Amino acid sequence: MVHGKKLAKEMLLPSVLEDDDAESEKLQLGEQRSSQTEVDVRGPKDQRCSPDGNVLDGGRGEEEEDDEEEKCVVSDEDYDTDLELGGKEEAYDPTGRTSYMKSCEMLQVAPASYFLRHMQDSELKMMHHGLGPQGTKALAVPLVTNTSILRLNLRDNWMEGMGGAAIAEMLKENCYITEVNLSDNHLGDYGARAISAMLKENSTLVSLNLSGNHFTDHSAEHLGPALITNTRLRHLDLSYNSLGDRAGEHLGDSLSENTGLRSVSLAWNSIRGRGATMLASGLGGNVFLRTVDLSFNGFGKEGAVALGQALKENNVLEELNLSNNRIPPEGAIHLAMGLKVNKAIKSLNIGKNPIQNAGCYGILQSVQENPDSAMEALDFTDITVNQDFEDLYTAVKEILPELRVNHGGRIGTFRKAKA
């Protein structure tokens, strides 16, 4: 695969080993690489070459003044990422151990012994290791050319925006990693912007977990276009963030055009009002998604009405979680109207909503009246029902014997505890 790579004293990785102040620096992903970057990864368009074709040290020092007119032309076929440390050639290190130790020395961080022991595994799990921005930057350097790791889990390492940018830059070059978990890392809007730029270039990632990273509506402004461009990502988790109404609009537009995703989670955000309506409309136009989790938002009646219409149009979605969305009985009835004609959905979770017995009854009745219904599971957790609902359930079971219904109990069956 990769043979004869050169190692020297200054490593190449753009935006990976920059200064710590993420908020004060402009993210240069896809733009001209900064000459202040200590460790860089350069593609063919920003490499500089000597007359004999050797790559120089990123433009720093005396070499920058020599042979300014001499440039190298590197075709896409010949291009491969070089870890260079400018100066004398050393034996190629296929494990990446040498480059990692040097990057740790330059960044003044202690090498992670766990990484050194497992850097050749197919799955690297480094949760709760406290890497921080600098430690993450050092880790990203050997990962650029690592061909062993296919699944990368760096959950809860407090990497912040700059650490997230380092991983994003690495993923532009690494074409082996298919699953990445960056949840609970305080990436913020800065990190979201870096991840978005990466998604526009990466064609390998299949699963990406960005849960719990303090993403806001500004993050969605960048993530939305990236999801339109990227067609390889299959599973995306954006739960436990701070995405609001504007995020719902941006993501709704992108989901309507996305052709890659099969599952997406937006649980535990703050999407409501117009954002919920736009997101629901986007789901209606998507013909690829199979599983969607919208629990713990604020869809309310408006969002439920839009989702009901989406279920009339979408005949691909199989699992939908709408629990804890403040949906009233009227909203449940609109959902029922969509379920009455939907032929694909197998599981609906609408538990812990104030839809009351009337909403539960209406949804179950719509399933009964739909001869093509594929419903297998209805979840009405924490919602009490009456005897009429129980009788209807018995009748529906004759049509759909595999249907499972969960609810919060039947009214009138509870007894006051004895003193």
Across the range 113-139, mean pLDDT stands at 97
Which of these, 78, 31, 82, lies nearest to 58 by C-alpha position?
Answer: 82
Across the range 79-108, mean pLDDT stands at 68
Higher pLDDT, 370 or 6: 370
Q: Is the pLDDT of residue 229 over 60?
A: yes
Ranges 20-29, 92-101, 172-181, 253-262: which has the least confidence: 20-29
> Which pair of tokens denotes residue 372?
């093509």
> Which pair of tokens denotes residue 58?
């990123």
> What per-residue confidence (pLDDT) applies to 346?
98
260 vs 287: CA distance, rounded Å: 10
> What per-residue confidence (pLDDT) applies to 95?
74
Sort 395 into a burial class: Cβ within 10 Å, 0-12 / 13-18 / 19+.
exposed
Across the range 7-28, mean pLDDT stands at 43
Q: Is the pLDDT of residue 50 over 50?
A: no
197-224: per-residue pLDDT in tens?
999 999 999 999 999 999 999 999 999 9
Residue 162 CA, distance from chain mean position: 17
> What per-residue confidence (pLDDT) applies to 271?
97
pLDDT class of 150 with cuts at 50, 70, 90 = very high
Residue 305's CB: how many other CB atoms inside 10 A? 22
Residue ranges of alpha helices (H) inside 91-131 are 97-107, 113-118
Q: Is the pLDDT of residue 359 over 50?
A: yes
Ranges 48-52, 93-97, 404-408: which has the least confidence: 48-52
Cβ neighbors of 343 (< 8 A, separation 6 or more) are 315, 370, 372, 373, 374
Which of these, 276, 286, 401, 257, lies nearest to 344 by C-alpha position?
Answer: 286
Sort 403 into a burial class: Cβ within 10 Å, 0-12 / 13-18 / 19+.
middle
205 vs 9: CA distance, rounded Å: 31
> What per-residue confidence (pLDDT) applies to 411?
81
Q: Is the pLDDT of residue 3 over 50?
A: no
> Which pair of tokens denotes residue 246?
């504007």
* Kind and range of the H or E run holding 207: strand 207-209
What domains can you pick out in the chain, each with its CATH number?
110-407 (3.80.10.10)
Which of these, 179, 101, 113, lies nearest to 141 by C-alpha position?
Answer: 101
Mean pLDDT over the full length of the chain: 83
pLDDT class of 413 with cuts at 50, 70, 90 = low
